[in-house]
Structure 1
Amino acid sequence: MGESDLSRIRWRCRRGMRELDQLFDRYLKHAWAHQSDNDRIVFLRLLETEDDTLWRWVMGYEACDDAELSEFLDRMRKLPY
């Protein structure tokens, strides 16, 4: 994946909600470069989720019913700041 692809992904990560923006930025900064193709696909699927749903998942107000996305979010939350 080239730099222009990564730039497009960074743009898609901009949500205008501080919590989501910070979480996605941490993921791109600390994990994206060494993720498997499958993990990258899961992340891109996560980006397809509506902002309000993502926010409820990230804040713990609602459980994600997709086991793969839920496990991925758990790993994202553990990334360093």
Structure 2
Amino acid sequence: MSETRENRLKRLQMRSMRRGIKEMDIILMRYAAARLDDMDDAALDAYELLLNENDQDLYQWVSGQQEAPADLQAQIADVRAVATGQ
């Protein structure tokens, strides 16, 4: 039995706000609220992979302290844009 879209969105929202580092909780909670509903399945798959990344790495990428890996740069830029209100 496959997961319904509604359940998947709820699960990803929870994973976005229960990270371990409060800063990433806030950043990804806002991102999820702003973007998840409009994502297609491929974008949700990519976001789910992003959620598997280490919080310390994610924070450094989103904050610009380190460059994100090439395959994540566009997604990290979108997270950063939401986080900074751009």
Normalization by structure 1: what TM-score?
Answer: 0.78
Identity %: 28
Over 4 Å off, 4+ runs? none
Does the CA contact (< 8 Å) of 1:42 and 1:68 recur in 2? no
Counting matched residue pairs gives: 80
Question: What stretches of structure 2 of length at least 5 have no aligned partner?
Answer: none
Question: What stretches of structure 1 of length at least 5 have no aligned partner?
Answer: none
Does the CA contact (< 8 Å) of 2:31 and 2:79 recur in 1? yes
- When the two chains are superposed, the root-mean-square deviation of aligned CA atoms in Å is 2.0
Residues 36/68 of structure 1: CA separation in 2 closer, same or farther (3 Å cut): farther
1: distance between equivalents of 2:39 and 2:7? Answer: 18
2: distance between equivalents of 1:23 and 1:68? Answer: 20
Higher relative contact order (CA 8 A, sep 6+): 1
What is residue 10 of structure 2 aligned with on the other side?
Answer: 7
